[in-house]
């Protein structure tokens, strides 16, 4: 169920983004003849009075189409309500509206979280430490039989009590015993399992077994007593996430060779969101805001086939007083779209393969 919830969430974020473009055009009287979620073959469509609404096979985004270059369009090429005939500012509003819609959506998701669930104030600990992820099939833990979702209840005969220190105790036992066997007592789907793991020394001589660890328990939420303070608190959280997202993209660009493997595609995002939903369904609010802000930041980058690339062309047009040749713009955008779709397909295949048990 959590996987379906995350897939639905991503579909909503794409819909919000494209709806921003669509409404920005319609509210200015600009023609928009297509509204599609996804790319590729049409799975479902509805023809409205002015616009064709469609769901397509490849869930890698969506688009709003304009009749400007439609050879079958009956609209005169000099019609002032065609997008290309509008002033630069009008077109910039349409192109940037998707990013603005995602940012507004993220903010109101945070407002909804505070109003419905509240702020995370504390953590209610239970005994043991959870293994949310085994890094790879070649990791020491995987070779020893440790699986995702395992609850480690004891290490070397020492019970991991219900406290904040349980995760640190387990981590210390692993790091201080490189090359030495340690005994793990595990609860797996209600059944006890005993495993022996030999940590492998890293470059600094600390033991590693190749797993992520998470405290066992649940987050305690509390709603603000003053309803009017919700908007201010949400704004602070919104600002924090935006700053962290921009910093993250800055690090990705400056250290691309080291961080490229961390780029996640739709499959990895769904898998991560599903794990978050299973651990704490309330945290899906924050996850939704985070992904929506990431979608906005990605789209504003000045890259071909993205909103930022089109805004860059508009900026050049505003400075030159005339647009760049359409043949050049179309070539750049089509090349960018092919590369973007290729990257999306690659990430889907890579992430899917990584999720398949080996």
Note the pLDDT of residue 120. 78
Average pLDDT over residues 278-297: 78
Each residue's pLDDT tens digit, 203-250: 888 889 988 888 888 878 888 878 788 998 899 989 988 888 887 777
The whole-angstrom separation of Cα 140 and Cα 126 is 26
* Burial class of residue 273 (count of CB atoms within 10 Å of its CB; 0-12, 13-18, 19+): buried
Range of 28-37, 111-120, 243-252, 259-268 with top mean pLDDT: 28-37
pTM of the entire predicted model: 0.73
More confident residue, 327 or 344: 327
Each residue's pLDDT tens digit, 312-340: 888 888 888 888 777 777 776 767 666 66
Backbone angles phi, psi at 344, to 5 degrees: -60, -45
Note the pLDDT of residue 49. 85
Fold of 121-221: Pdz3 Domain (2.30.42)
Each residue's pLDDT tens digit, 11-45: 888 899 999 999 999 999 999 999 999 878 899 99
* Burial class of residue 170 (count of CB atoms within 10 Å of its CB; 0-12, 13-18, 19+): buried
- 18: annotated active-site residue: yes
Each residue's pLDDT tens digit, 302-315: 877 788 888 988 88
Question: Domain residues of the chain, as ranges?
Answer: 2-114+290-355, 121-221
Given the residues 18, 148, 191, 236, select the one marked as catalytic. Answer: 18
Poorest-pLDDT segment among 151-160, 185-194, 217-226: 217-226
* pLDDT over 70, % of the chain: 82
Each residue's pLDDT tens digit, 70-97: 777 888 888 899 988 899 999 999 999 9
Is the distance from CB of 238 to CB of 290 less than 8 angstroms? no
Average pLDDT, the chain: 81
Note the pLDDT of residue 348. 45
More confident residue, 124 or 181: 181
């Amino acid at each position: 169920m959590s996987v379906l919830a995350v897939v639905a969430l991503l579909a909503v974020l794409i819909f919000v983004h494209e709806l921003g473009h669509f409404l920005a055009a319609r509210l200015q009287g600009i023609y928009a003849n297509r509204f599609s979620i996804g790319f590729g073959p049409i799975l479902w469509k509805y023809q409205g009075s002015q616009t064709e609404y469609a769901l397509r096979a490849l869930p890698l985004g969506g688009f709003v189409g304009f009749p400007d270059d439609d050879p079958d369009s009956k609209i005169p090429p000099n019609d002032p309500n065609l997008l290309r005939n509008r002033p630069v500012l009008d077109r910039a509003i349409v192109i940037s509206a998707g990013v603005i819609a995602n940012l507004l959506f993220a903010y109101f998701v945070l407002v909804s979280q505070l109003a419905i669930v509240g702020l995370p104030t504390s953590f209610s600990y239970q005994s043991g430490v959870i293994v949310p992820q085994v890094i790879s099939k070649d990791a020491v833990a995987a070779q020893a039989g440790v699986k995702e979702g395992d609850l480690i209840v004891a290490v070397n005969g020492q019970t991991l009590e219900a406290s904040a220190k349980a995760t640190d105790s387990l981590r210390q036992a692993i790091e201080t015993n490189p090359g030495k066997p340690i005994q793990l007592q595990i609860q797996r789907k209600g059944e006890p399992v005993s495993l022996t793991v030999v940590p492998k020394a890293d470059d600094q001589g600390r033991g590693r077994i190749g797993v992520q660890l998470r405290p066992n328990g649940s987050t305690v939420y509390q709603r603000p007593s003053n309803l009017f303070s919700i908007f201010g608190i949400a704004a602070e959280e919104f600002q924090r996430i935006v700053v962290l997202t921009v910093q993250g993209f800055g690090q990705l660009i400056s250290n691309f060779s080291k961080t490229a493997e961390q780029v996640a595609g739709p499959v990895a995002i769904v898998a991560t969101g599903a794990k978050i939903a299973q651990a704490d369904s309330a945290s899906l609010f924050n996850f939704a805001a985070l992904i929506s802000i990431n979608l906005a930041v990605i789209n504003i980058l000045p890259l071909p086939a993205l909103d930022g690339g089109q805004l860059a062309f508009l900026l050049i047009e505003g400075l030159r007083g005339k647009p760049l040749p359409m043949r050049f713009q179309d070539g750049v955008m089509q090349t960018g779209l092919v590369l973007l779709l290729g990257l999306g397909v690659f990430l889907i295949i890579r992430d899917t393969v990584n999720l398949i048990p080996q």
